[in-house]
């Protein structure tokens, strides 16, 4: 079990980091896409 603990924490860390990056990319694209949508809808 002690040998599996580091791998488990690494897996949890990678998963949480992946979720954080995904949320950041989605929010970044959402904030970046809003002006373009408004420009296209207004123009």
Q: What is the pTM of this model?
A: 0.52
Mean pLDDT of 12-39: 85
Q: What is the pLDDT of residue 21?
A: 96
CA dist., res. 17 & res. 30, Å (int): 20
* pLDDT of 16 higher than 60: yes
Other CB atoms within a 10 A radius of the CB of residue 20 amount to: 10
* pLDDT of 5 higher than 80: no
């Amino acid at each position: 079990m002690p040998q599996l603990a580091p791998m488990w924490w690494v897996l949890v860390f990678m998963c949480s980091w992946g979720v954080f990056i995904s949320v950041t990319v989605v929010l970044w694209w959402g904030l970046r896409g809003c002006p373009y949508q408004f420009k296209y809808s207004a123009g």
